[in-house]
Amino acid sequence: MSKMAYRANAMGVITRREIKSTIGSLGIYVAASLAFLVANLFVRSNLKGVTENGLMVMTNPLNYPLFIAVIIGATYLALTSTISVSRERDQGTLEVLFYGPVDSATYILAKFLEQLVAFLGLIVTYIVVFFIISKLTNFGLDSSFFAMAGLSVLLAASTVAFGLFLSTISRSARTSVIVLLLLLAAFLAIDIVAGILNAMSAKDMSATLIYTRVAVDMINRGLKWISPFAYLNRGIVAIGLGSASHVLMSIGASLLYTVVLLALAIHFLSSRGVRR
């Protein structure tokens, strides 16, 4: 058997082991429940608006609830991948694995594939639940909803790759988790604040707010190259514009981002070794 065949077999074994562990754990079900709960709050808000105002024209009312659910699911998987690698490194499990036909590339790619399979299960569940919500509320599901669901897989891939990268450069599991959560929260917060400030009229803003808006906008522009959420946003905007070329560019950029992070994770795991 060739080296690639050994590597593929080892990758398959690790991936299957991790999938069974994920399915058997309570965490993913809690994350899915939280995602549905938060998404339901936005759906109820839309229903309340219709009830209070009568007939309303609403563009894709279920897209934003799906977006929130996707972020929660992707963040959870990135968190678990980060914890898993850091914990196995701390406990010496990696050292035992690396005595067999397992190397850095095999291990990182297996962890990545397991999380991606888990997210595919989540997104299928999301689609089924939102289809039921659509039937109950008469909120329509159009092509943009399913396009967003497809692009969300790329978000999960890039977010998990980001978590794996952090786990290979951090000194401990606690550090990697804290850094991951802080960075993801910062990416979302700065994007939201930038959106709020840009929506305000310059006439209604003080000089301090104007300078703040410029500074936040510059930071947000820089973070768009390292934030996994920014790549999904580009895809959503491209879908809204109906531009196939921009959608393809968004997909390509997201894939490149994911590949680069995985390559860096493999590199740092190889160079730093399997021990802390």
Residue 205 neighbours by CB distance under 10 Å: 14
In a domain, 17, yes or no: yes
In a domain, 229, yes or no: no
In a domain, 165, yes or no: yes
- Number of folded domains in the chain? 1
Residues with Cβ within 8 Å of 173's Cβ and at least 6 positions away in sequence, in order, are 82, 83, 86, 87, 90, 167
DSSP state of 273: -
Q: What pTM, to 2 d.p., does this model score? A: 0.83
In a domain, 237, yes or no: no
Instruction: Express each pLDDT in 153-183 by its tens digit.
Output: 988 899 999 989 988 887 777 788 888 888 8
Residue entry with tokens 């509320």: 137
In a domain, 76, yes or no: yes
Domain of 132 in residue numbering reads as: 3-175+257-272
In a domain, 56, yes or no: yes
Instruction: Express each pLDDT in 45-64 by its tens digit.
Output: 877 776 666 555 556 788 88
CB 276 within 8 A of CB 172: yes
Closest CA to 80 of 123, 29, 46: 29
Instruction: Express each pLDDT in 85-121 by its tens digit.
Output: 777 766 666 655 555 566 788 888 888 998 999 999 9
In a domain, 188, yes or no: no
DSSP 11-77: HHHHHHHHHHHHHHSSHHHHHHHHHHHHHHHHHHHHHHHHHHHSS---SSTTHHHHHHHHHHHHHHH
In a domain, 202, yes or no: no
Gyration radius (Cα) of the chain, Å: 21
Q: What is the mean pLDDT of the chain?
A: 81
Instruction: Express each pLDDT in 211-245 by its tens digit.
Output: 788 888 888 888 878 888 887 777 777 777 777 78
How far apart, in whole angstroms, are the C-alpha atoms of residue 238 and residue 241?
Answer: 5
Q: Residue 56 — φ and ψ, nearest 5°?
A: -135, 150
